[in-house]
Amino acid sequence: MADASLPDGSTLAALDLGSNSFHLVLARKIKGELSLLKRLGEKVQLAAGLDDQGYLSEEAQQRGLECLERMAPFVRGLDDTQVRAVGTNALRAAHNAQEFIQRAQELLNIPIEVIAGREEARLIYAGVIHTSPKVGGRRLVVDIGGGSTEFIAGEDNEPHLLESLHMGCVSYTQRFFSDGKLTEKNYQQARLAALSELLHIQKPFLGHGWQQAQGSSGTLKTLSLVAGKGEFVPLTPKNLHELEKELLKNKSADNWTAYGMKADRARVIAAGLAITSAFFESLQIQEMHYVEGALREGVLYELAGTGTDLDIRERTIKSLQDRFQADPVQSDLVNQAALYALQQVASAWGLTHPRWQSKLGWAAQLHEIGLSVAHTQYHKHGAYLLHYADLAGFTRQQQCVLAVLVRSHRRKFPASEFKSFSPEYQLKLQRLARILRLAVLLHHSRPDAALTNFQLEVNNSSSKETLTLQFPEGWLEQQPLLLTDLEQEAKWQAAVGFELIYS
């Protein structure tokens, strides 16, 4: 169901910057549902441009940028409630990924988010369930990408197991077939390497079980088509073995283009077949059906649902609070005060967009999760958990934002922690941190109700970014502990060039 806040007729776009191919899907909201308008896809093989040191070559970057230049007209004019672009394994792995992302963002004029492997798996599952017939009982979904392969076991709309393994048709081609030659030896080496990777997930997936297995990638699409000699058929251990025999006999997949395989996939299909054969054996799959939906459709449908009660991020926040036993009452009080403060300064500080309210609210709700590790330095423990955990619905950058806000909610103001963000974004995050710090400080004594008897004013004309906090006349003098906390807070903010005035 499309987001009710988007007017009927709105266009939505999802851009998937994959390790092998870039894909764009466009849809229009019609009577509350999404109608697909256009699909675009180009083989870019970004992962093939990763060198031995993990740097993305200029040649590979240019391939990607040229592709995006052709896709840019389709997203031009859409705002950030209508379009979302995500990067996957190659951009997760590249040490210089930010260099490419910056160039791509300037070209597209939209942000590009690099998502974690399990988040990629979750979105793939969402894409499959929204674009394929309803399946009763449990299902297994597999997607072979250029640099990784995602495995998801779930039931109905809910994924239960999410895994992303470091094996893909491009990365395995580079690793085992880099000279362009196909032999029994290097094919079996690729297959054994995949079997070794699969040992990490074999037991839990077999324990979960499924009634139907579905494959959603270009590799599995091609294998299904070739196995059926030009028509889609379910993949089975028998027809996969026949494909292996034919491939090794011919030492090439070039003749498979007669059955509908695209010529540019011939170079990577041997690696894709080795991976497929391995996971069929490891997970004891007897039959797998190809389905059209994948990551880009998952991104599209989730974009359409963002802002509704089904927002996966809200469920993730609640799950984290439960998992790390954060005090829900205290979190709610801090959240109320933080959002009350934000309302007063949002316009002056450029924080009016709903995204800033979401970031501040999430950080307020999670600011104490580090207490589950230890009381000492718990703000640092909380930041570590948020930085490195797999958080469904959140991109890597969003996790970094939550981590830095939680890290900076108490004690010395860690200005250096914000330096990884762009200067403009850095300042806005520091402003959010100042708001969160005050909200936490006001509830240091853990009261029964939220403290919102204050007014805030800002003065941006000063280099110190003065923030003035005012309470009802005579009230603060009756709060000696709070007064002491504010004195210390003013010193901490002054140490990094900010000014806090209170009365």
Domains located in the chain, CATH noted: 11-115 (3.30.420.40), 133-291 (3.30.420.150), 312-449 (1.10.3210.10)
Q: Has residue 2 got a pLDDT over 70?
A: no
- The helix/strand/coil state of 280 is helix
Q: Has residue 386 got a pLDDT over 50?
A: yes
pTM over 0.85: no
In terms of residues, how long is the chain? 503
Mean pLDDT on 349-359: 92
> Are 284 and 206 in contact, with CB atoms under 8 Å apart?
yes
Q: What is the pLDDT of residue 136?
A: 79
In angstroms, the CA 14 to CA 369 distance is: 33
What are the start-end ranges of the H helices in 132-268? 169-176, 184-198, 202-208, 218-227, 237-250
- In 3D space, the residue among 309, 397, 313, 392 whose CA is nearest the CA of residue 85 turns out to be 397
In tens, the pLDDT along 408-464 reads 999 999 999 999 888 878 999 999 999 999 999 999 999 999 999 999 999 987 778
Q: What is the pLDDT of residue 311?
A: 64
More confident of the two residues 371 and 393 = 371
Please state the separation of Cα 146 from the chain's center in Å: 17
The burial class, CB within 10 Å (0-12 / 13-18 / 19+), for 423 is: exposed
In tens, the pLDDT along 286-320 reads 999 999 888 999 998 888 874 443 467 888 899 89
In tens, the pLDDT along 314-323 reads 888 998 999 9
Q: Tally the C-alpha atoms within 13 A of residue 22's C-alpha that lie toward its C-beta.
A: 23
- In 3D space, the residue among 16, 249, 297, 8 whose CA is nearest the CA of residue 141 turns out to be 297
